[in-house]
Structure 1
Amino acid sequence: MADVAHCWGFLLLVAIILTFTCKTVGEDDLDDLAFQAGNQQNVQFGPAKKMRYLLYSINPGEGFNLRRDVYMRVANLVKLLNEKEPFTLVLPPWGRLYHWKSNIRQLQLPWSHFFDIDSLARHVPVMEFEDFLKVNRKPEIDIIYYLQRFKEGWRDGKWEERIEFRDCIDDTGFKKDKDGRWRWWFWGYEQVYGKKFSCVSLQLEYKGLVPFLMKNADSTVQSIFLGRAEKLTHGSHSEWSKEWWTARRSMRFAKRLRDVGDKFRLENLNSTDETDQTVLDPDWRTMRRERGTAVGGPYMAVHLRRLDYKYAHKENVPSIPHAAKQIKKALKKNKLDVVYISTDAPDDELDELRRELKGVTVTRFERTKEALNEYKDGGIAIIEQWICAHARYFMGTAYSTFSFRLHEEREILGFSPESTYNCFCGTGKDTCDQPSKWITKYE
């Protein structure tokens, strides 16, 4: 009888295990999406802790490279939130931006089109917006916090950290429908709505938002949306901090775009990672490069902003002849005779630059119709950045976020400050202030 009782006890245990481990196929599919959000969790949570989601938007007028900077702020916010509860960062789809001038359709582009999602997820759990809609089962967001300035400005003319619920100052774009749902354009996903909405005035580093969210978004709130997330600042976690650089190092470009840039370098610039000493480690977390270890390809790279910069920053933007003069001087100094040009200059100015650089081999990645359809404006910008990042010597445009991001890329690859932090001087100036020199820091 004892043996029979033991056998029945064993069978009961097996039944209990199966009951708690078996799910329907549909639930498994959704769990797979949730786990794809990231393969790195620093904190282990018990089964009672349900995954929560942080979404965000940015001022529509902001450019591609500034949006990358805002991503780093929000990603590091999610990293801090994960020390409290499990959060996944939902990535806002890309759409047409001011500097994307082509006529091709560019709407609801996923982050995977431009960046390596697995690389991002080694920093914090991330998820595409469309995957969030599948996991969430309903096209709804629990709470929307629209971030704004304080109407009265700084107190006594001094900046101080503070955050308060306030009446909305400007037109937020969010409207309440007849059913009490908060509507916004949500990147063209018209079915999406918010259940609750508040305007929040703040002067705050992103880390200061953690206690606010933990206090005001209780356990019933699964999804939180931050409108105008650029209002958050890096503060003490800016370019000189380990936290900032960790987020930045995770932002590797999509491999297919890097491959296009590498192919161009090989065929047009006699440049490979092996000869340039710029081979990437498979995992950015293990990659540590000393400054000056990267050699770079036998060419100079130039980022020359024109268009709106000729008016917004005219004291820092040279005429075409003066730009050519500075390029030739840098080529001679570095014993190079090939220059790669990345510019938004119109064709007539580019033709003028080529004439001014007579005797110099000038090359660029052509924005053909086929390339634009395949990679989009943002993808071509990344291909150009990747090519510029591997040059033996780089010269950029002052105050341009495109050039800023290139400085960082070259720091990560191990280039020397002397070959990286250079910018054009305005017309009539032979010398001018050069970019600040940041150094990569590791956690």
Structure 2
Amino acid sequence: MYNTLLSVYVLLIAIFVCVYCHSDENLYQAKDNLPVHGPNQVRYLLYDVNPGEGFNLRRDVYMRVANLVKFLNEDEPWVLVLPPWVRLYHWRSTSLRPQNKIPWREFFDINSLALHVPVMEFEDYLKKVDTPVIDEVYYLQRYKEGWSKWEEKMDIRECVDPARYHQDENGNWRGRFFDYEEVYAKKFECMSAQAYLLTFKPFLMKNTTGQSVFLDRAETMIHGQYSEWSPEWWTARRSMVFAKHLRDDADWYRETYLDSNDKKDKTKLEVWTKMKRAHGEAKGGPYVAIHLRRNDYLHAHPKEVPSYENAVKQTIKYLKKYKIKKVYVSTDASWDDYFKFKKMFGSDYEIFKFEKQNLTVYKDGHLSIIDQWICAHARVFIGSYVSTFSFRIQEEREILGFDQETTFNRFCGDDEPKDCEQPTKWDIKY
């Protein structure tokens, strides 16, 4: 009886915990209030990631923490507090809107996330607890002595590197906390860890007592058996539906410039809990989408990054194979380089790139999602070597039901064989 009641209880939290959410064309709906509980009944898990990590790696870390919360809710009620987005390394545009303290609802459908685990925005957490306080912070770090073999372990240790936290005159711990200067923690410890996400469950349940617990450097947590080969990983990934206003903008662009819409392309979105597509069900719009990394990739992966001339040749091979005349380009290259690249295709093909038509609306994160959504709906996609940006597009196409031969492709570098090794194909799991 207890387990049955707990299951119902957790389900109710998942349905109603989302605060100030926006309905999504009746796909995802949630109440605007939290269930009423005693002060110690619901616990909150907060987390952050190394400041140097990019937008798409952070999405992967979200899936690790979300699945941890899912497993915690098997035994006691936890809510995942979503970390506000602060300015990232790759967010360098001159957007007129501040690229700081950005809530998740600007990028993702919060109601969709809540169908997987109970979630709430950080700003709503602060309203809920009244005082801007976090009970316990654990800074995940490496082992000072290093390691010669893999083994799971977690230990409270002295901080190896200068941590981002210090005690004030009142004994409270101050830190970055997403640039909310008023927020502080009651307790802080460094924890050396090399462990799978599920290993953190007994620690949180048995070794912590605070109502709110913060795991910093959560990228230290490893997927383990719940990687992209598992249904649990794919469940978390499928719940990460982009915000409707960004999908609407991308869909408008597809329709206007690329002769692409969901009806013709067989890519209509459904509630992800009911959506199950077989490979080849999606047709895609009549264009080839490419993700061509430049900038830091020219130094990080010089052998795998093609010249513009080579990238054009490789793209044209796909255009001819699939008898397509349009190319959509997602790239971090400068606009000058893009226009030079565009001219290399000549007059036989039409080349497109989403433009920032209104700097008061779009931030770098918005543009990243719009690019990914347009690329995800192409007839064919060509990505960049080991790029998390390309990985997220490939996952989106796997969810939509594209043939894997049109999805798991990448550019070969100039010094690589023309038939260089292509991305690993991983099947979606339901």
Query: What is the TM-score of this pair, normalised by structure 2?
Result: 0.90
Matched, 1:304 2:297: no
CA 1:328–1:129 in 2, change beyond 3 Å: closer, same or farther?
A: same
Secondary structure (helix, strand or coil) at the match of 2:273 reads: helix
Could you tell me how far 1:393 is from its partner in structure 2? Answer: 0.3
Higher helix share: 1
The answer to whether the aligner puts 1:136 opposite 2:118 as a matched pair is: no
| C-alpha displacement of 1:235 | 1.0
2:45 pairs with one of 44, 51, 54? 54
Match status 1:148 vs 2:141: yes
Counterpart AA for 2:402? F
| TM-score, normalised by the number of residues in structure 1 | 0.88
For 2:137 and 2:213, the matched residues in 1 are separated by: 6
**1:384 equivalent in alignment to 2:371:** yes
- Report the Cα offset of residue 428 of structure 1: 4.0
Aligned pair in 2 of structure 1 residues 343, 48: CA closer, same or farther (>3 Å)? closer
Q: In 1, Cα distance between the equivalents of 2:112 and 2:242?
A: 9
Within a 5 Å distance, the mapping from 1:301-380 to structure 2 comes to 301-358=289-346, 359-368=348-357, 370=358, 372-380=359-367
Shift of 1:84: 1.5
Distance 2:365 2:252 in 1: 18
Match of 1:243 in 2: 232
Alpha-carbon displacement from aligned partner over 1:345-370 (angstroms, at most 9, x marks no partner): 123321221121112100110124x1
How far apart, CA to CA, are the structure 2 residues paired with 1:342 and 1:166?
44
Instruction: Give the alignment partner of residue 205 of structure 2, picking from 214, 236, 239.
Output: 214
Pick the aligned partner of 1:273 from 262, 265, 273. Answer: 262
| 1:35 matched to 2:28 | no
- Size of the aligned set, in residue pairs, is 402
- Distance in 1, matches of 2:36 and 2:334, equals 55
Q: Quote how far apart the aligned CAs of 1:153 are.
A: 1.5
Kindly provide the amino acid, as one letter, of the partner of residue 148 in structure 1. Answer: Q
Aligned to 1:183: 174
Using the alignment, how far apart are the partners of 2:161 and 2:226 within structure 1?
Answer: 29
String of CA shifts for 1:163-214, please: whole Å, max 9, x gaps.
Answer: 1111100011101101000001211211100000010111101100000111
- Asked if residue 416 in structure 1 is aligned to residue 398 in structure 2, the reply is no
User: Is the aligned partner of 1:226 residue 2:215?
Assistant: yes
In 1: Cα distance, 2:17 partner to 2:383 partner: 40
**Aligned counterpart, 1:98:** 89
Q: Do 2:250 and 2:371's aligned partners in 1 also have CA atoms closer than 8 Å?
A: yes
Q: C-alpha distance in 2, partners of 1:289/1:355?
A: 38
Q: Are the structure 2 counterparts of residues 434 and 57 from structure 1 closer, same or farther at C-alpha, using a change threshold of 3 Å?
A: same
Distance in 2 between residues matched to 1:199 and 1:132, nearest whole Å? 24
CA contact (8 A) 1:151 1:169 kept: yes
| Distance (whole Å) between structure 2 residues aligned to residue 137 and residue 47 of structure 1 | 15
Output one character per residue of 1:287-331: Cα deviation in whole Å (capped at 9) or x when no partner.
Answer: 000011100000000000000101100111000100111011110
- Per the alignment, in what secondary structure is the counterpart of residue 428 of structure 2? coil
The one of 362, 365, 382 equivalent to 1:395 is 382
> Is the CA contact 2:17–2:119 (under 8 Å) kept in the aligned structure 1?
no
Aligned to 2:163: 172
State the partner residue of 1:81: 72
Q: Which has the larger radius of gyration?
A: 1
- For residues 258-297 of structure 1, the aligned pairs below 5 Å read 258-281=247-270, 283-297=271-285
Q: Say yes or no: does 1:427 pair with 2:420.
A: no
Contact (CA 8 Å) 1:95, 1:108: kept in 2 or not? yes
**What SS is found at the alignment partner of 1:315?**
coil
- Is 1:120 paired with 2:107? no
Question: What amino acid is aligned across from residue 35 of structure 1 in structure 2?
Answer: V
Helix, strand or coil at the partner of 1:178: coil
**Offset, 1:48:** 8.9
Letter paired with 1:138: T
SS at match of 1:60: coil
Tell me if structure 2 keeps the 8 A contact 1:45–1:85.
no
Gaps of 5+ in 1: 1-30
Maintained 8 Å contact 2:17/2:120: no
* Matches for 1:11-26 after TM superposition, within 5 Å: none
Q: How far, CA to CA, are the matches of 2:361 and 2:198 in structure 1? A: 38
Q: Which amino acid aligns with 1:400?
A: S
Q: Check conservation: 1:393, 1:420, Cα contact below 8 A.
A: yes
How far apart in 2 are the matches of 1:431 and 1:346?
A: 28
Rounded Cα–Cα distance in structure 2 between residues aligned with 1:143 and 1:76: 20
Q: Quote the Cα distance in structure 2 between the aligned partners of 1:363 and 1:194.
A: 48
Give runs of ≥4 in structure 1 deviating > 4 Å.
37-40, 44-49
The one-letter code of the counterpart of 1:56 is Y
Letter in 1 for 2:101: Q
Q: Secondary structure at the match of 1:236?
A: coil
Is the 8 Å Cα contact of residues 17 and 114 (structure 2) preserved in structure 1? no
Aligned-partner SS, 1:408: helix
Q: Distance in 1 between matches of 2:375 and 2:18?
A: 32
The Cα offsets for residues 133-167 of structure 1, whole Å up to 9 and x where unpaired, read as 0001110000000001111112xx21010111111
Alpha carbons 2:356, 2:362 under 8 Å: kept: no
Counterpart CA distance in 1 for 2:16 and 2:208 is 21
The gaps in structure 2 that reach 5 residues or longer are 1-12, 22-29
Which amino acid is 1:124 matched to?
Answer: V
Q: 1:49: how far off?
A: 6.1
1:46 Cα deviation from its structure 2 partner: 9.4
Deviations 1:74-97 (A, max 9, x none): 000000111121100000101111
Contact kept, 8 Å, 2:298 with 2:305, in 1: the verdict is yes
Q: Which residue of structure 1 lines up, in the alignment, with residue 192 of structure 2? A: 201
Q: Which one-letter code corresponds to 2:299 in the other structure?
A: Y
